[in-house]
Structure 1
Amino acid sequence: MNATSLKIRSAGRSDLTSLIDLYQHLSEGDEKPLLTVAEEIFEKFLTYQGSEIIVGEVAGQLVASCTLVVVPNLTRGGRPYGLLENVVTHRDFRNHGFGRQLLHYASDIALKADCYKVMLMTGSKKPETIQFYLGAGFEQSKIGFQMRRIPPRPDT
């Protein structure tokens, strides 16, 4: 299997069940939404201009995904910024370059939307996770803060 076998596209409604299963590779045992709730949330993505769930598939199986939201902005000359979240690659498909391809694809979409930056955060302190993002062209240049309603995922 090589990196060129990845097909990248926007997620569709028919991907929801597979996408929810793929998210278990972010944090095994994470609470799954009911399918009806997931369908409602997905509809919001379709109506929020600049938001998109991007998926990568190999032989018809979803193996990677990330969410891009282009956020309107009144600084930087009115240029928006891109926010990437829920970056995940199925455990069995890691280290093939799929995640990097997906991040580059999402970043290209954001830059074409005139975003002045594309950013993401990770809660992981694992050196291989940090190295993955650095290797994909992101720099570790800011300090992040958050308020949480639910506890962070364990760093697994």
Structure 2
Amino acid sequence: MAESILRIRRATGSDIPRLLDLYQHLIPGDDRPDDASASEAFARFLLYPGSAIFLGELHGVLVASCALAVVPNLTRGAKPFGIIENVVTHSDYRQHGYGRQILDAASGAAWSEGCYKVMLLTGSKEPATLNFYLRAGFEQSKTGFQKRRIPVRSEN
């Protein structure tokens, strides 16, 4: 597959069905919300100023995505921070730099919003996944904890 220029943009409501299809490459077999629930969740997400779901398209095919939530903050001079979640590249398009490009777009948007940092968590222990995040400019410098209602997904 020839390398091509990824077109990166912010998602709109009309992108939801294709985005939900792409998420199957993140969590295969994950419960897919109905259209009304997905649209409602997307609208609530956009209520947070600066937050966006970034999409990477190649010849009209949605190949990569991540979500950026910009969180107001009372430390660091009241500078917000960003949380990146749901990082996914379509399995047919991996190893071409598209995931890194989508993370760079989200990080750039966070900087434009005045965020002092962006952070993400991964449940993966796969060296390839961890090295991907390191190559994308993230450092493994904090210890993460979580409390879950939904069980952790298994490694694929």
Under a length normalisation based on structure 2, what TM-score does the superposition of the two structures give? 0.97
**Number of matched residues?**
155
Q: Tell me, in whole angstroms, the C-alpha distance in 2 between the residues paired with 1:34 and 1:152.
A: 22
Does the alignment pair 1:144 with 2:140? no
Residue 12 (structure 1) shift: 1.1
Report the equivalent of 2:155: 155
Specify which structure has the higher proportion of helix: 1
Q: Distance in 2 between matches of 1:46 and 1:76?
A: 24
Provide structure 2 residue ranges, at least 5 long, that are not aligned to the other structure: none
Tell me the distance in 2 between the aligned counterparts of 1:140 and 1:47.
30
Q: Provide the residue aligned with 2:127 in structure 1.
A: 127
Unpaired segments ≥5 residues, structure 1: none
Q: Give the CA RMSD over aligned residues.
A: 0.8
Residue 45 of structure 1, CA deviation: 2.3
**Contact persistence 2:25–2:91 (CA under 8 A):** yes
Question: Identity rate of aligned residues, in percent?
Answer: 59
Is the CA contact 2:6–2:58 (under 8 Å) kept in the aligned structure 1? yes
Amino acid at match of 2:145: F
1:48: Cα distance to partner?
2.0
Partner of 1:17: 17
Alignment match, 1:80: 80
Deviation track 1:50-108 (CA, whole Å, cap 9, x = no partner) reads 21011000011111000001100000111110100000000000000000001011001
Instruction: Report the more deviating stretch, 46-55 or 57-66.
Output: 46-55
